[in-house]
Amino acid sequence: MFDLKGKALAVTGSASGIGAATVDYLRAHGAYVIGLDIRPSDNADEHIAIDLSSRKSIDEAVARLPEKIDGLANVAGLAPTVPAAQVIRVNLVGTMALTNALLPRLTYGSGIVNLSSIAAFHWQQSIDQIKEALDLSFGKIDAFVEKHRIDDQPGRSYFLTKEALLAWCIRQRRTWVDRGIRMNCVSPAAVSTPLLDAFAGVMGERTKKDSDIVERSGAPADIAPVIAFLLSGASAWIRGANIPADGGVAAHYLAQENGL
């Protein structure tokens, strides 16, 4: 049993999909859950509206949060069908801005969990672009997108944000060790959420190829317990890690690429 009873935990993207399933799972295990989403919902103990593409909205949401938070799950994200600049604003820059703004409120031993993706599997191949993305502020996103012609590459905005979240997690592996705060990632493969059709439309053959590897698409309920584990004290010695919750897709890639 995870030690979540009485913990105050914040979840972005709480109104649907993996975020909603995470809210349900955490509450079922005794946590007090604050849902953060641009859409209204009543599934959490408390809902706070937030637009992760807006620094002002992030600051207003943080001001409404409790003074002490025991963990943060960064689940919110946009699909690659949205213009690249907006994907980067929400999936990466806004997510990092919210996390950094919440750090003073995080209690000793808190967990931060970023939802990455199997899309980040080859992140090392884009390290220079990732480093540049990790230094972005809201005002620099449009120029970054234009410089790298990201709108001309179907799906690249999404892949980049998930790669960058994973790299950020590794970079921050011991940043807050004196406060016992740890950051880790969860990387799903295809999960049956409202975003799945959008991925299929943009990624085409790649989405079908990944789906053929596993016996079924994932469900939000497959991912929520992994996020809960990383928010709990049971993961206290796990830092800067990435857990693939993907039906074996990452293992399949590794086997193919290494002759196994």
* pLDDT one-digit tens code per residue, 141-167: 999 999 999 999 999 999 999 999 999
- Proportion of the chain above pLDDT 70, given as a percent: 93
Find the catalytic residue in 25, 32, 108, 158. 158
Q: How does residue 14 score in pLDDT terms, banded at 50, 70 and 90?
A: very high
Specify if 236 maps to a domain. yes
Residue bearing the bigger pLDDT, 194 or 117: 117
Q: What is the pLDDT of residues 93-109, one digit of tens each?
A: 999 999 999 999 999 99
Whether 2 is covered by a domain: the verdict is no
- pLDDT at residue 212, rounded to an integer: 74
Which tens digits make up the pLDDT trace of 185-213? 999 999 987 666 666 666 555 655 666 78
CATH code, domain carrying 113: 3.40.50.720
Domain membership of residue 104 (yes or no) is: yes
The answer to the question of residue 1 being in a domain is: no
Q: Taking a C-beta distance cutoff of 8 angstroms, is the pair 94, 114 a contact?
A: no
In this structure, is residue 184 part of a structural domain? yes
Cβ(245)–Cβ(226) below 8 Å: yes
* Between 114 and 198, residue with greater pLDDT: 114
Q: Answer whether residue 182 is part of any domain.
A: yes
3-state secondary structure of 36: strand
Instruction: State how beta strands 182-188 and 8-12 pair.
Output: unpaired
Q: Is residue 125 part of a domain?
A: yes
Query: Does pLDDT of 48 surpass 60?
Result: yes
Among this protein's residues, is 158 annotated catalytic?
A: yes
pLDDT the model gives residue 3: 85
Strand-pairing partners, residue 86, are none
Q: Which amino acid is at 1?
A: M
Tokens representing residue 142 in the block: 């449009």
Answer whether residue 49 shows pLDDT above 90: yes
Residue 29 inside a domain? The answer is: yes
Residue 216 binned pLDDT confidence (cut-offs 50, 70, 90): confident
The contacts of residue 244 (CB under 8 Å, 6+ apart) are: 118, 187, 188, 189, 250, 251
Q: Is the pLDDT of residue 1 over 60?
A: no
Count of structural domains, the chain:
1
Taking the C-alpha atoms of residue 229 and residue 249, their distance in angstroms, rounded to an integer, is: 21
What is the DSSP secondary structure assignment for residue 115, as one 8-state letter? E
Per the structure, the complete domain to which residue 36 belongs is given by 8-257
